[in-house]
Chain A
């Protein structure tokens, strides 16, 4: 089955710096890769996703890149702000008729003013 590894587990940056979180997946048939942000006391919320037919997607200060050959994808946050502090999860789907997501173990991002 699919296995998703996520690094680093914690990341501390200064406000205004960039942050990068990386994930690798094992199932070459996976074709959907979402990123979720979880704030304290809340459920995960989708912030950006990418499908296997594109290599990069941007939405304002966040971007995701996908390397299908190497089976890894990354989340990039530029000009970080204190409100970006949260736990971020990557996920990959299992390419079956059912949209089952396998999640990484999460990255706690701390942005210091």
Chain B
């Protein structure tokens, strides 16, 4: 079984709709992250969480919110989806401490019409 899972894997929604992307991990890591991937732009950090009580904005958090329901679960919400949020979204986890390897989920492909 995969250590980091994301649901759904693909999603099509309409402008203005609220959607939630979910991430679960079985690695026992404290730190979790949400990234967005766009062609030619690499991976950009949306939000990150040290632990259940600690959530921080990344470089592109506008239009997004997150919830850390448990150590193993980290959800990303688009409150009112817009077409330029069409992208590939990745969840990742890592151990505490500097220079810890980040482990990525398989991604969610989101299309906002």
Binding site for B on A (CB under 8 A): 6, 9, 31-32, 34, 36, 41-46, 49, 51, 89, 93, 95, 97-101, 103-106
Contact = CB atoms under 8 A, between A and B. Distances in A.
Nearest to A89: B42
30 contacts: A9-B40, A31-B98, A32-B99, A36-B104, A41-B106, A42-B106, A43-B4, A43-B92, A43-B104, A43-B105, A43-B106, A43-B107, A44-B90, A44-B104, A49-B99, A49-B101, A51-B99, A89-B43, A93-B98, A93-B99, A95-B98, A99-B98, A99-B99, A99-B100, A100-B45, A100-B58, A103-B43, A103-B44, A104-B42, A105-B42
Interface residues of B, number: 26
B94 interface: yes
Contacts, number: 61
